[in-house]
Structure 1
């Protein structure tokens, strides 16, 4: 980078005694993809929020084309050609895709909105990202992956020359990710610049021209994607060597007890004739492209929706076709939802309250709760799961995404769950925390006989953690290969066959 078109100099952001950013200086050139990596809490999102005008720095300056600028609001950043597609979905659910893309930027004829021109312009930006999404569809009818793509199209529709993409592929599978990469490369070829944030280190190495590492709010180094490795990236992010699990697959699973048997499960319009078995102590991965029906099958097994055909057996007992989630929990089967923040945690409650919510009946006394007993058991799971926290009384929102996920896992282990269905359990979690969770899950399956259905869009993760992998496509099971004999390419080929 010879002449940065946008530059931050000595940016600091403090919240009381907490320093989210500590003198960070960083810039980007025209036609550059600049990746920002770091663990959760490293300051990446805070820095990007300053760049797009959501928050103001405590000190330091921003410069656009060599001139100092100050953004009091997102509109100021947009006028400077900077736009963000944030990690969290931020769309209006009851408006159409086209209306969301052009929100606040409608085409007008005189004083009136020209809806024909507006929709035509929205469609043009949408087609740049994905051609399969209906621009007339209401956003709440879209999958999370499609909503993420719409959000990126909305950022592009501002005609920004600097795009900030914060975990843009977290909800995407490989096919949708490749479409996004194609767009980003075209944008770069036309002179656009991209700040790119992701926990998926492989795509950073594939896409980025330069990598900046943040740790504990400070700029700790730059890496060249042509010469660095994933291990070096993780070491720089964590400030230490982080051990990857890569466990050997379990031996002799076929001889073990079948704890969950799904036979011919069908729900019209979502999935058809789904069958598989889960053995005691097994991690059974579930892979597939967007729309494969993975989450829909999980919710049906757990009783959130009802099947039109097929059966589910748990520990040899056929479950009632009209079962509820409460029935499944009572029998030791639990579903951990994909949307951790919306459906997994109680954000206004403490860490201890979040972990013990389903088990409060065990701590009831004659006149009041046996708080000491409850906290003693919480402390035990905090130690077993290696949860990093200040105090169990702290709010759950004070924890990183990885530690929040560990609290949710501890919640159900405390409830004596024996089968966990985990839907995207490491989405939005940094690499070090992801490895820790994978290692802990393997430890619980090895030592305590826990059985896990592990749904993930990340093929590398499915291969790393699973014993066998159920590959789905358009609601059907296409095969169940052993993870040790599979590759990312073979899984994709099977999913698309």
Structure 2
């Protein structure tokens, strides 16, 4: 019997039907995976489950009885809590204060801080013992913040947890600890809705798999008998290609567009050197904390190097800044798209066209028709799922927001892209489409790309060569043809 279920739930946002009569439920002591492409309705359904949004039609049932959630607190009181994909913590509070936010233990004179911190530590230790509960969240890594967020969901004493892409920022060690926690939670009778684009995780953890497509329930799969290929086809409604999209050869004969020599920023990375050739996709691999993002930000000009040089198209960039880099055709796409990548109050078209507005200046106003024609072209090429380009960008799924950001800089005619975890939170089909589109741009437009990713399979699929980092140093640079996941992991841990 289902302890919680949605019955014929639909949700509309204006004319857009995000959910179309979905019925799914969860049993006690079960991990129920919900999978689907970006825009399939997963996040909308989870928002309804945790009280962030009411259904337009249909109903929710808890232990067979209809319930209504008007706010997240209503869902928490019904024993349902969510750890969302995007980090949603208070940075100036400690890990313990974030975990117990709104659930502080009270004493005779107010908050009993000792009891509150003790309870927070107990919840955190069940997931990861390496995080100091007294540390401010702003001082924690993204992976640690994600674990704190999961501990906060568990601290509500919920018996149903919703985990949305929980391992997106985690190392393999942290992922193993989280899996151990999930199994213990399930063994104790708890239930988990698990959303992830990492299909291996779904097959390893789940008891049932429900597939959504275009806002509708498609089918239920048995993880004991299904395959990743069947899962992908059910999500997409079509067969999806796979494999390396024709890596380039003889790159050494091509022009060097970006040359980095001896780049050092003490405490972050040391003596980083490499060349990026015209039309090349250079993958950057390494465990979380290897220094990949720090190097990217330094090349772009967000931080200053202590030693070393960066040459772009043969010109030394001594006074690097983001504005100067963009003007010369070098662009950095940040890892945290919500905090650093989008303009949340603006529309989809405005977000995409923002850096290119000067190109559409008319005598008295913007040549809006020309601009929208180009925006529509990139929407089509990148297969962005949307209602209208005039809708706010926050109406899109995370993966489609990322596609808008990619389109923004392709529209700006960027010549070198540094992409930091560009497909995090994007489904398998969309990843393949983006990989193919990036390859087409490197072939036809002579675009060159530095592609940073924690997923070894993705790095192998998309790259020509792979720069492997460990503890701030370059450990090797094999070609994709000669590398394997095992060899990359060995370099990354050496």
TM-score, length-normalised on structure 2?
Answer: 0.94
Q: Map residues 249-328 of structure 1 onto 2, 5 A cutoff.
A: 249-320=247-318, 322-328=319-325
Deviation at residue 177 of structure 1 after TM alignment: 2.0
Distance in 1 between residues matched to 2:30 and 2:376, nearest whole Å: 47
Match of 1:128 in 2: 126
Partner deviation per Cα, 1:210-243 (whole Å, 9 max, x = no partner)? 1001122221110011211222112111222233
Distance change >3 Å, CA 249–CA 113, structure 1 → 2: same
Note the residue ranges of structure 2 that are not aligned, 5 or more in a row: none
Q: Choose the corresponding residue for 1:471, options 468, 471, 482.
A: 468
Match of 1:461 in 2: 458
Match of 1:5 in 2: 3
Answer whether contact 1:163 1:194 (CA < 8 A) is retained: yes
Distance change >3 Å, CA 412–CA 284, structure 1 → 2: same
Establish whether residue 414 from structure 1 lines up as the match of residue 411 from structure 2: yes
Q: What is the alpha-carbon root mean square deviation over aligned residues?
A: 2.1
Distance change >3 Å, CA 9–CA 258, structure 1 → 2: same
Establish whether residue 27 from structure 1 lines up as the match of residue 25 from structure 2: yes
Deviation at residue 394 of structure 1 after TM alignment: 4.1
Distance in 2 between residues matched to 1:395 and 1:58, nearest whole Å: 20
Distance in 2 between residues matched to 1:355 and 1:6, nearest whole Å: 40
Distance in 1 between residues matched to 2:384 and 2:79, nearest whole Å: 41
The secondary structure found in structure 2 opposite 1:20 is strand
The secondary structure found in structure 1 opposite 2:126 is helix
Deviation at residue 195 of structure 1 after TM alignment: 0.6
Structure 1, 200-209 or 361-370: larger mean CA deviation: 361-370
Answer whether contact 1:173 1:458 (CA < 8 A) is retained: no
Answer whether contact 1:175 1:289 (CA < 8 A) is retained: no
The secondary structure found in structure 1 opposite 2:481 is helix
Structure 1, 91-100 or 187-196: larger mean CA deviation: 187-196
Distance change >3 Å, CA 392–CA 22, structure 1 → 2: closer
Match of 1:337 in 2: 334
The secondary structure found in structure 2 opposite 1:345 is coil
Deviation at residue 198 of structure 1 after TM alignment: 0.9
Partner deviation per Cα, 1:321-374 (whole Å, 9 max, x = no partner)? x31112111222111111223222223333333233222222223333333333
Note the residue ranges of structure 1 that are not aligned, 5 or more in a row: none
Q: How many residues align structurally?
A: 494
Partner deviation per Cα, 1:71-110 (whole Å, 9 max, x = no partner)? 3332232233221111222211111111001112222333
Distance in 1 between residues matched to 2:391 and 2:10, nearest whole Å: 26
Answer whether contact 2:257 2:277 (CA < 8 A) is retained: yes
Partner deviation per Cα, 1:413-450 (whole Å, 9 max, x = no partner)? 33332110001111122222221111100111122221
Distance change >3 Å, CA 478–CA 131, structure 1 → 2: farther
Match of 1:200 in 2: 198
Answer whether contact 1:245 1:438 (CA < 8 A) is retained: no
Q: Map residues 102-121 of structure 1 onto 2, 5 A cutoff.
A: 102-121=100-119
Distance in 1 between residues matched to 2:473 and 2:155, nearest whole Å: 36
Match of 2:478 in 1: 481
Match of 1:396 in 2: 393
The secondary structure found in structure 2 opposite 1:129 is coil
Structure 1, 214-223 or 398-407: larger mean CA deviation: 398-407
Structure 1, 487-496 or 390-399: larger mean CA deviation: 390-399
Structure 1, 74-83 or 428-437: larger mean CA deviation: 74-83
The secondary structure found in structure 1 opposite 2:204 is helix
Distance in 1 between residues matched to 2:40 and 2:285, nearest whole Å: 30
Match of 1:426 in 2: 423
Distance in 2 between residues matched to 1:464 and 1:357, nearest whole Å: 31
Answer whether contact 1:266 1:274 (CA < 8 A) is retained: yes
Q: Choose the corresponding residue for 1:370, options 361, 367, 370.
A: 367
Answer whether contact 1:5 1:30 (CA < 8 A) is retained: yes
Distance in 2 between residues matched to 1:123 and 1:486, nearest whole Å: 42
The secondary structure found in structure 2 opposite 1:36 is strand
Distance in 2 between residues matched to 1:45 and 1:450, nearest whole Å: 33
Answer whether contact 1:173 1:290 (CA < 8 A) is retained: yes
The secondary structure found in structure 2 opposite 1:5 is strand
Deviation at residue 406 of structure 1 after TM alignment: 3.2
Distance change >3 Å, CA 473–CA 42, structure 1 → 2: same
The secondary structure found in structure 2 opposite 1:483 is coil
